[in-house]
Structure 1
Amino acid sequence: MSAAGEERRALIVLLGVIYLMIAGFGLVIPLLPFFAQAFHAPAWQVTLLFSAFSVGQFIGEPFWGRLSDRIGRKPVLIITIAAVAVSYAGLAFAPNILVAFGVRFLCGVFAGNISTLQGAMADITAPEHRAARMGLMGAAFSAGFSTGPAIGGLLAQPSRGALGFQLPLLVAAGFALASALAVVVFVRETRPDVPPAPRPPRAARLREAFAHPVISRVVVISFIVVSGFAGIEATYGLWTERRFGWGPREIGLAFMGIGVLGALCQGLVTGRLVRSYGEARVLTAGLVIMAFGLVTQWLSPIWPVAMVGFGLVCIGQSICFPNLTALISRSAPPGRQGEMLGLNMSGMALARIGGPVFAGQLFSLVAPGAPFAFSALLILPALWFAAQVRRLAPRPG
């Protein structure tokens, strides 16, 4: 097979693995608020269930990213995805909310493999094409995230309490297991065969990353934006239940529609925009669209208007986040792709720890729509850093 054919095969296989893995993840996310309520958990405990996962992901992302740089992407993906499958099965049989917290934490540790997937995608892609390929990766994410919530919403039976969520959680475990088997059978090692570089102490590596003019600013943008969005994600089920009387089925269908929109944007639009305007300009445009979407959701009088806002946020994210990843990938040394991408994902996981907790307090103590307003405000400093990235980032080509 030619080099182009090998690259195309690797791309298709990786996208399939991502789709299966995220379908399981997406199946679980919209159900978590109702799953926690089955244990009579208040709003702050519901959001902590999201934060427990993020604490684990914060620990896992840099570890798996560095390990994949040393031993290869394939073994890391097999270990982590198989462990995620086991954790979903464990969550299905959690007897109380405390056990659920522990299982979600462990799930987050092993689900901290996104940087490994990003590193594998970067390994098989020329630097000038990475934003477009990250857009395709994002499209696979969105496709999985559109399938999973719809399945979860249809399978969940909230009237049965915690037992009513066992079937969708076991289906999520099945998706993850299928993804792990696909890696075993179809994925070839993609890590470049480069001589191992001397590894300075962790503190020195962090100082080096945050001294980099582009990587440091991109990591800060990711942290800021995800802090707000994670709060929205954690309270969305509670907000739609309070505002429109929605349950798991309606939320699952809404996420399905938004996931389809995201897949189309990332698969068909992001790459074209980057080729015309460059990563940094498209990143800025995505942030602006996200801000408009958040404000629209916050002020929406009826659910169709809220869905328009949700769609704008989805479009903004679809053209924003692939470019964050591409900018880091273009700026990182070849032998440290996984490590630098893992640093960014770790920062995003850290944002997902505090974001849901703060949003839960805003929801309970200020107003149900307050997390949307707060997230929109956070876009402003992100835009300031994006303007600096536009000046400092390497030019495409």
Structure 2
Amino acid sequence: MDKRLPPLLVAVFINIAGFSLILPLLPFYGQVFSASSFEIALLFAAYSFGNVFGEIHWGRQSDSWGRRKVFYVTTFIAGLTYIAFAFAPNLWAAIAIRIVSGFFSGTLSVAQGFIADVSPPERRAKTMGYFGAAFSLGFAFGPVLGGLFAGEEVAAQSFHAPILIAGALSIMASIWCFIVLRDAVEPSGKGRPLPKYSEAFAFVSAEPLLARLFVISFFGIAAFASMEAIYGLWSEANFGWSAKDLGWAFLAIGGGGLFAQLVLIGPLVARFGEARVIMIGLACLVLAMLLQPIIRTPFTGVALMGLLMTGHSLAFPSAGALLSRNTPPERQGSTMGLLMASNAIGRILAPPAFGALFALNMDLPWYAGAGMIALAALIALQAVRLLDAKLAAAT
């Protein structure tokens, strides 16, 4: 491993821990403002709305400023937005702050750029595995910390301490990047060109395999983001859980992702290939969503969310890797940029829609999500056949 990589992984862990710390609090913090399930889902979607613009802007800016500078500037300002969020005067101010927070947290493309800087192509998949592990560790650690420091009463002061801790973690990541992180390449002084989405859309539409991978990613990530948004409301209604209880449940979610990243995905891809691993991941997602409202116990509620994250961590990194592997080098930037934008649209639009479904019937989002993933699985089956035909033609 390149010695410049561990400081980045530490920064990713700290940053994701701060971001994920907020997640189990949002359903309960929204209730402070008497928010409906639709409005609480907007709190989740608002972050993604800001995030998509942040990913485009900061990815380009990192070419001009350097990765290190972008990291310490954005994470510091993101920390300040958490502090503002803790003292939001009303729901719409809280939503606006989440948009700004998402914009300054949109640095995953910068992290991936740093990884590309320090790792040769033949080691990049393994390096991305380290990145995924740091992400999953942060995702497992943060919600537990948030739950531990949240108060039992649904009042603004019950959430001040954990949200301020999230801000402190983000500022800590900024200081760490400023002191320890070093750029692997000199900044060019100018940003990369914007992705040519129209050209990428025409290219993807003309490629049956790539078009199917886009649809799979869109439906899958939209459904997963929606489950994340309504799970706190559903578990409160069914089990009487507080933010503290939900924080421990999110440990299983992060643990499922970590297990998939460290133990499962490598051997499964080596044995079955990415396309069939996508099918395995989607099957896990459908099973988790269908069983959640049927079994309906606290223990299985946590276990099935862990399975949900395991399926997510198998299916969508494999879809991204397969997409990249079947895209020519000159179209990589625009195609992966289009994929990121497509996934972001799913994370923005789906959670409020699922919040509205929850208001009609609390179990309806699980069945709707399972239906979306089942549709994605049928399309994935077509992708397997297309890939098999392509491989057969090449031999």
- What is aligned with 1:369? 363
Amino acid at match of 1:361: A
Amino acid at match of 1:81: T
Hey, what's the Cα distance between the residues in 2 that align with 1:81 and 1:198? 22
- What is aligned with 1:306? 301
- What is aligned with 1:4? none
Within 5 Å, give how 1:4-23 maps onto structure 2. Answer: 7-23=1-17
Hey, what's the Cα distance between the residues in 1 that align with 2:332 and 2:73? 20
Per-residue deviation, 1:142: 1.6
Alignment partner of 2:359: what SS?
Answer: helix
Residues 12-64 of structure 1: CA deviation (Å, up to 9, x unaligned): 22221111111001100110111110112122211111121121123222333
Per-residue deviation, 1:176: 1.1
Of 243, 268, 277 in structure 1, the residue corresponding to residue 238 of structure 2 is 243
Hey, what's the Cα distance between the residues in 2 that align with 1:159 and 1:204? 50
Instruction: Answer with 224-233 or 344-353: which moved more.
Output: 344-353
1:291 aligns with 2:286: yes
Per-residue deviation, 1:116: 2.2
Alignment partner of 1:239: what SS?
Answer: helix
Hey, what's the Cα distance between the residues in 2 that align with 1:241 and 1:40? 15
Hey, what's the Cα distance between the residues in 2 that align with 1:119 and 1:211? 26
Asked whether the equivalents of residues 2 and 119 of structure 2 are also in contact (C-alpha less than 8 Å), the reply is no
Of 230, 254, 263 in structure 2, the residue corresponding to residue 259 of structure 1 is 254
Alignment partner of 1:9: what SS?
Answer: coil
Aligned residue pairs total 388
Instruction: Answer with 217-226 or 98-107: which moved more.
Output: 217-226
1:165 aligns with 2:159: yes
Change in CA separation of 1:193 and 1:186 when aligned onto 2, cut-off 3 Å? same
Hey, what's the Cα distance between the residues in 2 that align with 1:347 and 1:191? 30
Alignment partner of 2:155: what SS?
Answer: helix
Within 5 Å, give how 1:197-236 maps onto structure 2. Answer: 199=193, 202-207=196-201, 210-211=204-205, 213=207, 216-236=211-231
- What is aligned with 1:142? 136
Alignment partner of 2:346: what SS?
Answer: helix
- What is aligned with 1:55? 49
Of 95, 102, 109 in structure 2, the residue corresponding to residue 108 of structure 1 is 102
Of 86, 90, 103 in structure 1, the residue corresponding to residue 84 of structure 2 is 90
Amino acid at match of 1:269: L
Asked whether the equivalents of residues 7 and 180 of structure 2 are also in contact (C-alpha less than 8 Å), the reply is yes
Asked whether the equivalents of residues 223 and 369 of structure 2 are also in contact (C-alpha less than 8 Å), the reply is yes
Per-residue deviation, 1:89: 1.1
Change in CA separation of 1:197 and 1:99 when aligned onto 2, cut-off 3 Å? closer
Give identity over the alignment, percent: 37
- What is aligned with 1:3? none
Change in CA separation of 1:87 and 1:217 when aligned onto 2, cut-off 3 Å? farther
Alignment partner of 2:89: what SS?
Answer: coil
Hey, what's the Cα distance between the residues in 2 that align with 1:291 and 1:243? 21
Per-residue deviation, 1:363: 0.6
Change in CA separation of 1:127 and 1:217 when aligned onto 2, cut-off 3 Å? farther
| Structure 2: segments with no counterpart, 5+ residues | none
Change in CA separation of 1:274 and 1:44 when aligned onto 2, cut-off 3 Å? same
Hey, what's the Cα distance between the residues in 1 that align with 2:8 and 2:317? 16
Alignment partner of 2:7: what SS?
Answer: helix
Alignment partner of 2:4: what SS?
Answer: helix
| Structure 1: segments with no counterpart, 5+ residues | 1-6
Hey, what's the Cα distance between the residues in 2 that align with 1:238 and 1:156? 16
1:188 aligns with 2:182: yes
Residues 274-297 of structure 1: CA deviation (Å, up to 9, x unaligned): 233332222221111111111111
- What is aligned with 2:38? 44
Hey, what's the Cα distance between the residues in 2 that align with 1:212 and 1:71? 36
Asked whether the equivalents of residues 65 and 339 of structure 1 are also in contact (C-alpha less than 8 Å), the reply is no
Hey, what's the Cα distance between the residues in 1 that align with 2:275 and 2:185? 27
Alignment partner of 1:150: what SS?
Answer: helix
Per-residue deviation, 1:96: 1.2
Change in CA separation of 1:27 and 1:311 when aligned onto 2, cut-off 3 Å? same
Per-residue deviation, 1:270: 1.6
Change in CA separation of 1:203 and 1:263 when aligned onto 2, cut-off 3 Å? closer
Amino acid at match of 2:304: G
Hey, what's the Cα distance between the residues in 2 that align with 1:197 and 1:362? 42
